[in-house]
Amino acid sequence: MSEPDGAGLTRSHGRLNARPSAQPRDLMAEPAGDRGWMAQIVTLFPEAFPGTLGLSLTGKALAEGLWSLRTIALREHGLGRHRNVDDTPAGGGAGLVIRPDVLDAALGEAAPHLPVIYMSPRGAPLTQARARALAEGPGVTLVCGRFEGVDERVLQARGIEEISIGDYVLTGGELAAQVLIDATVRLIPRVLGNRDSLAEESFSDGLLEHPQYTKPSDWDGRTVPEVLLSGNHAAIARWRQAEAERLTKERRPDLWRAYQDRHAVGIDPAKDRQLSGASHQSRNHREQDEG
């Protein structure tokens, strides 16, 4: 019925070391102002963390104490000799469902002042705006599902928010939790060295990011757009805005419509035709390349 019991240890990460081998510490005993933004993870696999979160900028920020990570082992709250955390679905069907009493007990170990989110394919899509809102708060407690999911009653009883990272199903919620944490932690002040990059990346203003180029200016017969080498910053800004609009209109019509609605302005018909023509031309090029 249940997977074999693993190490089942609750671990904390942060400030001392960003590697998975960091020694467990009682994070909950530390002063709230000393630990920065906090991520608590309820999971059957505590050893999955910090994973990629311990690398690069998020790993450096973890080691510096700009944010902290604590895992809560769901198995430790399992029932019986084998610490079972799941049971068969009510009404029949394949798979297993995580029990409400087990998950509730695990959440009782979490810091109560943090919002609780269940990583679920049926949840609302994770957006840049949601990540930004979470980054402005004290942290988050994430529930990583397994098997067929979690008993609905504990979700309702605790008012747990459900968030999805995409329209697909993963083996478990650990990877999804890492995605949400990464998207959020990078927005915490001082985590990224260049704050200006946040204003220019995809979704910062509801648009996809414009194309990026670097040296050499001529590579394999393909050249950097001339305007980017002109030194005319106003012209460069106009080109980047136009390219962001073109890509968004071509690839994400939903974002394009929301962008227009949010800015409460109608698109200029001539510009609309220009963007549509560019999109159509781009599709033709792709079809020719694929053919």
Q: Is residue 170 marked as binding?
A: yes
Angle at 25 between CA 80 and CA 4, to 5 degrees: 30
Q: Is residue 259 marked as binding?
A: no
CA distance 67 to 191: 9
Residue 266 has what DSSP assignment?
Answer: P
Name which of 268, 270, 249, 246 is nearest 258 in CA terms: 249
Query: Hey, what are 96's tokens?
Result: 């297993």
User: E strands of 61-115, at which residues?
Assistant: 67-73, 86-87, 97-98
Is residue 57 within 8 Å of residue 98, measured between CB atoms?
Answer: no
Q: Which amino acid is at 190?
A: R
CA distance 61 to 257: 36
Q: Is residue 213 marked as binding?
A: no
Q: Is residue 206 marked as binding?
A: no
For 112, residues 6+ apart whose C-beta sits below 8 A from its C-beta are none
Q: Is residue 169 marked as binding?
A: yes
Q: Is residue 117 marked as binding?
A: no
Q: Is residue 163 marked as binding?
A: no
Annotation: binding site: 145, 165-170
- Known binding-site residues for S-adenosyl-L-methionine equal 145, 165-170
